[in-house]
């Protein structure tokens, strides 16, 4: 079968990990992204000057235009794109694939990186880091998220941290499955310990030291409670210096530039949904219909279900994210859903893990010609999903690139949110937040007797302690404004 000249193909990958302990040493955020891009270009064997489009996510440093730094370092004249958190990382890949297919782009780099560990080391040592040198830079395309990711009442009670939102999802899962608290804690600790074992075999992993299920499950001084049932090591670890990049081009360009055929990896699917709906407005708190739709579209196009693909990296910011995706995609919950070790142990660089995890997936696909590798994407709070599928074999029907937003909107049931409630109802889900080391606050989503939803909180250490020991879901409560009464 001949390959159409405008067929997109991935030809280079690069991943960088920095583990220096000297305050102020090593690469800054810009340097990390540049180093990854240079590694990806070297892997492809092409000249960096041939790159005409560079897209980068923004990390915690919120650099104005990291892609411009990459283009300048490569000596390339390129259009640049910067994406703020809330734009799925899959979006940049899809933009590159669509541009290559249409002929608007010949050689693209998609990249991102983080140097938070370096910043943390300098801060603790009282060392002031030099500026990034990006003042005044403006990307050609600046992508910022639209729509409501967190509802106003969620913001007003302070339930904006991802760990709280995912803990709310996690506890809703427990109720849906009918598990006891102990059964639930054992499940997520077992899942996470299996991912830790994978990280132990990954030389790039930032936190690959062995950690048992009991270590992860137990709250301790080194594993403090963040939002029940999540401790520190249930959480994505973003204090890392990691960056990654991929080089994509047309098949015609790959041939013209002399890229060896054993470097070629074809995208079969680049799917996402840009539907933005806050957690408290979702009728089913433990489901994600949008991800299910992506999986169904993938199976229809590729002819292989995601569950049957050879190499899978499921986005792993929190256990709930993994378990919900496994359910929606039909993955065996006993299958370890990572080749990297996941965001708690391989490292979770802010707004970049998808690219970091794509590198080992591509390496496995190259090592096993004809195999399929799938990488899932989470943006927001199980808000905007993404899914990419890669293989050394070209797609028979071309690459499927789409935003299934309209399908996701139709498939996602909503509940009206009462933003000034007064009445009674039952707890749909909740979490407990500590003050220092002491459980102190209950945050709840309540199904009101009126048929609407409410978000409320209660600051009471005794109630918080009881809510950890015994399940509060289903309990009758009162809500007055943002105040919860039990």
CA dihedral 88, 90, 95, 97 (to 10 degrees): 180
Tell me the pLDDT tens digit for each residue of 193-221. Answer: 999 999 999 999 999 999 999 999 999 99
Closest CA to 174 of 439, 428, 446: 428
Tell me the pLDDT tens digit for each residue of 151-169. Answer: 999 999 999 999 999 999 9
- Given a contact cutoff of 8 angstroms between Cβ atoms, the answer to whether 33 and 111 are in contact is yes
Measured distance CA(147)–CA(408) in Å, rounded = 15
- Given a contact cutoff of 8 angstroms between Cβ atoms, the answer to whether 455 and 420 are in contact is no
Q: Concatenated DSSP letters for 108-161?
A: EEEEEEEEHHHHHHHHHHTPPPPP-S-TT---SEEE---S-SS-HHHHHTTTTS
- Given a contact cutoff of 8 angstroms between Cβ atoms, the answer to whether 282 and 409 are in contact is no
Is the predicted pLDDT of residue 1 greater than 80, yes or no? no
- Given a contact cutoff of 8 angstroms between Cβ atoms, the answer to whether 428 and 434 are in contact is no
**In the chain, ranges of CATH 2.40.50.840 domains:** 422-485
Q: Name, in order, each residue with C-beta under 8 angstroms of 91's C-beta and a sequence gap of 6 or more.
A: 83, 143, 272, 274, 386
Where residue 412 falls among pLDDT bands split at 50, 70, 90? very high
Look up residue 111 and give its two tokens: 């990249």
- Given a contact cutoff of 8 angstroms between Cβ atoms, the answer to whether 48 and 39 are in contact is no
Question: What is the pLDDT of the chain when averaged over all its residues?
Answer: 97
**In the chain, ranges of CATH 3.40.47.10 domains:** 8-147+238-411
**What pLDDT score was predicted for residue 270?**
98
**Longest Cα pair distance anywhere in the chain, in angstroms?**
70
Q: Concatenated DSSP letters for 36-48?
A: HHHHHHHHHT--G
475, exposed or middle or buried, with CB in 10 Å at 0-12, 13-18, 19+? middle
CATH classification for the domain delimited by 422-485, as one of 3.30.450.40, 2.170.190.11, 3.20.20.140, 2.40.50.840: 2.40.50.840
**What pLDDT score was predicted for residue 13?**
98
Is the predicted pLDDT of residue 457 greater than 70, yes or no? yes
Tell me the pLDDT tens digit for each residue of 241-261. Answer: 999 999 999 999 999 999 999
**What pLDDT score was predicted for residue 447?**
98
Look up residue 105 and give its two tokens: 């782009």
Measured distance CA(435)–CA(221) in Å, rounded = 14
**What pLDDT score was predicted for residue 2?**
80
**What pLDDT score was predicted for residue 271?**
98
- Given a contact cutoff of 8 angstroms between Cβ atoms, the answer to whether 384 and 272 are in contact is yes
Q: Residues 262-288: what's their mean pLDDT? A: 98
Q: Residues 310-326: what's their mean pLDDT? A: 98
Q: Residues 133-138: what's their mean pLDDT? A: 93
Measured distance CA(165)–CA(378) in Å, rounded = 14
At the second CATH level, the architecture of 8-147+238-411 is: 3-Layer(aba) Sandwich (3.40)
Tell me the pLDDT tens digit for each residue of 337-393. Answer: 999 999 999 999 999 999 999 999 999 999 999 999 999 999 999 999 999 999 999
**What pLDDT score was predicted for residue 182?**
96
Q: What are phi and psi of 439, to 5 degrees?
A: -55, 125
Q: Are strands 53-57 and 79-83 parallel, antiparallel or unpaired?
A: parallel
Tell me the pLDDT tens digit for each residue of 67-118. Answer: 999 999 999 999 999 999 999 999 999 999 999 999 999 999 999 999 999 9
Count Cβ neighbours within 10 Å for each residue of 232-265 and write b for 16 or more, e otherwise: bbbbbbbbbbbbbbbbbbbbbbbeebebeeebbb
Share of the chain above pLDDT 90, in %: 98
- Given a contact cutoff of 8 angstroms between Cβ atoms, the answer to whether 93 and 270 are in contact is yes
**CA angle, 443 as apex, 438 and 444 as ends, to 5°?**
145
Measured distance CA(414)–CA(433) in Å, rounded = 26
């Amino acid at each position: 079968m001949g390959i159409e000249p405008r067929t997109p193909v991935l030809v280079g990958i690069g991943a960088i990990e920095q583990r220096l302990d000297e305050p102020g040493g090593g690469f800054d955020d810009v340097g990390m992204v540049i180093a990854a891009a240079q590694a990806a270009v070297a892997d492809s064997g092409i000249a960096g000057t041939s790159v005409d489009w560079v897209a980068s996510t923004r990390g915690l440093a919120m650099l104005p235009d990291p892609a411009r730094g990459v283009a300048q370092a490569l000596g390339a004249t390129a259009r640049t794109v910067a994406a703020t958190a809330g734009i799925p990382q899959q979006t940049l890949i899809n933009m590159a694939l669509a541009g290559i297919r249409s002929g608007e782009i010949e050689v693209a780099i998609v990249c991102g990186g983080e140097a938070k560990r370096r910043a943390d080391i300098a801060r603790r040592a009282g060392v002031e880091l030099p500026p990034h040198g990006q003042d005044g830079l403006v990307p050609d395309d600046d992508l910022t998220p639209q729509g409501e990711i967190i509802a106003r009442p969620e913001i007003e009670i302070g339930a904006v941290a991802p760990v709280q939102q995912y803990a709310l999802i996690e506890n809703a899962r427990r109720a849906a499955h009918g598990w006891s608290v102990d059964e639930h804690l054992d499940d997520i600790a077992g899942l996470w310990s299996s991912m830790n074992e994978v990280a132990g075999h990954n030389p790039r992993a930032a936190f690959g030291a062995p950690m048992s299920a009991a270590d992860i499950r137990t709250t301790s001084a080194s594993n403090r409670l963040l939002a029940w049932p999540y401790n520190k090591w249930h959480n994505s670890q973003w204090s890392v210096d990691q960056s990654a990049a991929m080089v994509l081009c047309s098949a015609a360009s790959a041939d013209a530039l002399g890229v060896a055929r054993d470097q070629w990896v074809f995208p079969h699917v680049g799917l996402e949904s840009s539907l933005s709906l806050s957690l408290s407005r979702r009728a089913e708190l433990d489901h994600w219909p949008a991800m299910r739709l992506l999986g169904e579209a993938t199976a229809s196009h590729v002819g292989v279900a995601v569950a049957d693909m050879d190499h899978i990296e499921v986005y792993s910011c929190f256990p709930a994210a993994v378990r919900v995706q496994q359910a929606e995609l039909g993955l065996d919950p006993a299958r370890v859903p990572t080749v990297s070790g996941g965001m708690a142990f391989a490292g979770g660089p802010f707004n970049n893990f998808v690219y970091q995890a794509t590198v080992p997936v591509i390496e496995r696909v190259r090592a096993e010609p004809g195999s399929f590798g799938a990488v899932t994407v989470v943006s927001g709070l199980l808000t905007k999903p993404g899914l990419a599928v890669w293989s050394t074999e070209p797609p028979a029907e071309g690459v499927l690139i789409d935003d299934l937003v309209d399908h996701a909107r139709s498939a996602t049931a909503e509940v009206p949110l009462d933003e000034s409630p007064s009445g009674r109802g039952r707890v749909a889900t909740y979490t407990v937040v500590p003050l220092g080391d002491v459980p102190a606050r209950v945050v709840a989503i309540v199904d009101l007797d009126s048929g609407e939803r409410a978000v409320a909180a209660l600051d009471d250490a005794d109630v918080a302690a009881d809510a950890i020991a015994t399940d509060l879901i289903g309990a009758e409560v009162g809500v007055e404004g943002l105040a919860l009464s039990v």
